[in-house]
Amino acid sequence: VGARRVTEALLADGRELVYFDEREGVDRIVHDTRRLDSPPPPSVVRHDPLLDEWVAIAGHRQGRTYLPLADECPLCPSVAGRQTEIPSTDYDVVAFENRFPAFAGVDSGASAGLPGEDLLVEQPGTGRCEVVCYSSKHDAAFSALPSSRVLTVIEAWVNRTTALSRLPGVEQVFCFENRGLEIGVTLQHAHGQIYGYPYLTSRTRRMLNSAARYLERTGRDLFADILAAEIKAETRIVARSGAWTAFVPFAARWPLEVHLYPDRQVRELGDLTMLERAELAEILPAILRRMEALYGGSVPYIAAWHQAPVRVSRDLAYLHMEIMSPRRAPGRLKFLAGSESAMDAWINDVSPETAASALRAIPG
Ligand SMILES: [Zn+2]
């Protein structure tokens, strides 16, 4: 598998776009000739002192494109008479800055962290939000991508993780996919997203704090020991390859939840060997296909990569993906209601062992 050809371009309003092509000799259009409004006003992040979390306030996102018809899709390639976000008439994989970003711009260095007494702390919502299109075909799905294309997507994740990590003020890079109307996607074209946050997310902070405490107590790595415990228990394993293990976690929150770990501890996607990438390109779509087959057809899901933060606690991190779906039965969804939304106290109606055994029974 050769390296992908990377071509950088600029969109009409100054946003960056990067093509990742599988063949030599393709000529991608790098000048966007549309007339676009100037970018929306930047968002802000506000600190919630009760939960010690940041919340992005991005009012401009209310005006973003919502479920356009297929022939008005902004993620399809441009055709004669209709220019989209992608200037070329074809592409393999493309990443570009979101037109309606929750985070944008570069940290000016003015943000000084948390002033002690002030409870109402607001900072510019700097960072980066990018869209990654997996295919020029409007109705493609990650679960059906050939492994050669998944490898191209992996290369795009690695390339953009490196690029976003270098932006001043970005503390964490998050590659993810929201799939399905039930999850709230506003564009149905096969795509994922990458966020460069200007802070460490509270979930990552909690995980790394747990890992730090475990290391102090035992001298061992928490993530590696969880993986070893799941492999030993066997009952929640969904699939294994030589380098990867997929399992339903012991304390799964969602009725359909699968975690995918490399057997070797690595910090981020760019640390994966070519062999590990090749196996990932097989096992990840296969897990999604099992999830689809479980309830017959499409399944709404969130697929979330956990990578090491840019600056802090890097040695504690363990790259892994968490896939979660609210599907609990054909035609039925779990909603995050009172206990989950108001108290962060999850109640899962499907036992993790039942979910794992059902997923395992589906031919990979
Ligand atoms: Zn499309």
Residues 195-217 pLDDT 10s: 999 999 999 999 999 999 999 99
pLDDT at res. 110: 56
Strand partners, 174: 195
Could you tell me the distance, in angstroms and rounded to a whole number, from the CA of residue 91 to the centre of ligand 1? 12
Could you tell me the distance, in angstroms and rounded to a whole number, from the CA of residue 72 to the centre of ligand 1? 8
Model confidence at 71, in pLDDT bands (50, 70, 90)? confident
Per DSSP, the three-state class of 157 is helix
Q: What is the mean pLDDT of residues 299-304?
A: 96
pLDDT in tens, 249-298: 999 999 999 999 999 999 999 999 999 999 999 999 999 999 999 988 88
Could you tell me the distance, in angstroms and rounded to a whole number, from the CA of residue 322 to the centre of ligand 1? 26
**Range with the lowest mean pLDDT among 9-23, 180-194, 313-327?**
180-194
How distant, in Å, are the alpha carbons of 19, 61, 278, 279, 282 from that of 147? 18, 34, 8, 9, 6
DSSP 339: I
* pLDDT tops 90 at residue 24: no
Q: Give this prediction's pTM.
A: 0.95
Could you tell me the distance, in angstroms and rounded to a whole number, from the CA of residue 52 to the centre of ligand 1? 39
Q: What residues act catalytically?
A: 191
d(CA 49, CA 8) in angstroms, rounded, equals 41
Share the mean pLDDT of the chain.
Answer: 93
Q: What is the mean pLDDT of residues 43-54?
A: 94
Could you tell me the distance, in angstroms and rounded to a whole number, from the CA of residue 137 to the centre of ligand 1? 7
